[in-house]
Chain A
Amino acid sequence: MDSFFLGTCLFLCLMILPCLYRAIVGPTVIDRMIAVGAIGTKTLVILILMGFLYERVAMFIDISMVYAILNFLGTLAAARYFEMEGEI
């Protein structure tokens, strides 16, 4: 089972690369925002899988929840910033 989790982790890490490409190259700001959001979601899943690998799921779920909150907050702040054209 461990190797399955490890494999999924590695696959997700590889899948982050296209998102990273879009986040760096992305022609518009919206592309970058969505790419960063997608990376955040993948990181969340990787964190929980790591929890299974280290057999400390409870601890890693705590971490990933904070990550989810901050991801949501970051996306919202960026959206708000561009909607209001620089003012929050």
Chain B
Amino acid sequence: MDNENTTTSNKPCAHQTSYHPVFSQRRLEQARHFSLSFILLFLFWLLLSGHYDIFHITIGIFCCLLVSYSSNDLLFVHVGAGDSHLIIPRLLTYIPWHLYQIIISNIYLAKLVFSPISRLNPHFVPYKTKLTNGLALVTYANSITLTPGTITIDLNDNTFYVHAIDSKVADDLLTGEMEDRIEKVFQPVAHTQERASTMLAAEADNLIVKTIVRVFTPFIQIYGLYVIAHGHYSPGGGFQGGVILAASIVLLALAFGLRRTMSKATEKLTTMLCSSGVFIYGGIGLLCLLLGGNFLDYEKLDLFLKVGIPQARSLGILGVEIGVGIAVMACMTSIFFDIATAGELPDEPSEMVIKPEDALSEDTIPEDTIDG
């Protein structure tokens, strides 16, 4: 299943431009993004897993490779090459400062709430920002919302519309200290003018939702795979993990539109995955039957696995969980597509059309994780 996925991957201009210099640079960037997402996802997996033996780490490496292959263009899109590794340490220096700000304004807000005289003065503040990077804009919007007293309502043409509960918190915002700090975090990845404008044109509407979904989807998929792989230690298993994987695809569909998602997770693919999941489940069951046991009598698998009865049981359960996970993910996805489309696809909005030469640099939705 995985080999098939690798060969039929979505690289539209792979063979036409194989000796073009831009191509190799793109390949380099893709490889860099792939390895960076792999490292991040694998750290997340280690954090979740808690089982550090060879078997689980192997499963983890496999799952992380799968997810970072299918969604490397989700995590690190629109990030200038060569600078992306600087963001994370800079962000780590920003977070303590932001936490401190949150505590300060929390205390101020608590005073405001408990003071006998009401000094509330809720109003909207339009705030023109100098940030251009999409990630920086989203970080700034979320920082404003996280700080008590101010909430970002909308982001439109580089103008934030902020709801402030009091004139002091509004003044704090308008000093622009937070903006300067965020600019410092993302400064080295400032795009060339041309690239920034294409980015804003492609993602102008729902920038915040799109960016959040783009960054979180790979982690949700890793989480779903973790739930499947650790079904016999912790709550969850095939059904729950499958539903989480399907939820990540539904999230993509909600943020990026049904048509773009369905062009990757096609009906053919979901149907295929659905039946192959059932096949894995039934196949393991019938194998036990053929080896002289009952249906799903995992002990009999030891006859050719030769790893001892408890290990054989564990492996058998894992195999069944994987089958159930694939089947549930595919079924949930196709049920969602069927209900949401009501049988026919909505017309494609014109701004969604991506020129073929931009297809690799624009964020494309990955094929849904063909998990295993």
Residues on A lying within 8 angstroms of B by beta carbon are 58-59, 62-63, 65-66, 69-70, 72-73, 76-77, 80, 87-88
Chain A: CB-nearest residue to B247 = A73
* A73-B235 contact in complex given A58-B50, A65-B223, A88-B340, C-beta closer than 8 Å: no
Task: Write the B221-250 contact mask toward A (1 if CB under 8 angstroms, else 0).
Answer: 001000100000011100010001001001
Please count the residue pairs between chain A and chain B whose beta carbons lie under 8 angstroms apart in the complex.
38
Interface size class of B (residues with CB under 8 A): 20 to 34
Report the 10 A-B pairs with minimum CB-CB distance, sorted nearest first. A88-B340, A80-B254, A76-B254, A73-B247, A62-B234, A59-B234, A59-B235, A77-B254, A73-B251, A62-B235
Query: Which of chain A's residues have a CB closer than 8 A to the CB of B244?
Result: 66, 69
Q: Are the CB atoms of B209 and A76 closer together than 8 Å?
A: yes
Contacts of B255 in A (CB 8 A): 76
Task: Please tell me if the beta carbons of B258 and A66 are within 8 angstroms of each other in the complex.
Answer: no
For residue B142, give the distance in angstroms from its CB to the closest CB of chain A.
13
Which of these, B234, B235, B251, B258, contacts A76 with CB under 8 Å? B251
Q: How far is the CA of A66 from the CA of B209 in the complex (A)?
A: 19
Residues in B whose Cβ lies below 8 Å from that of A87: 346
Mostly, the A contact residues are: helix
For the complex, is B220 an interface residue (Cβ under 8 Å from A)? yes
B258 to A88, Cβ gap below 8 A?
yes
Closest Cβ of chain B: how far from A3's Cβ, in Å?
A: 25
Q: A66-B244, A69-B223 are in contact. List 19 more A-B contacts (CB 8 A).
A: A58-B50, A58-B234, A59-B235, A62-B235, A62-B236, A63-B235, A65-B223, A66-B227, A66-B236, A69-B244, A72-B251, A73-B247, A73-B250, A73-B254, A76-B254, A76-B255, A77-B254, A88-B253, A88-B254
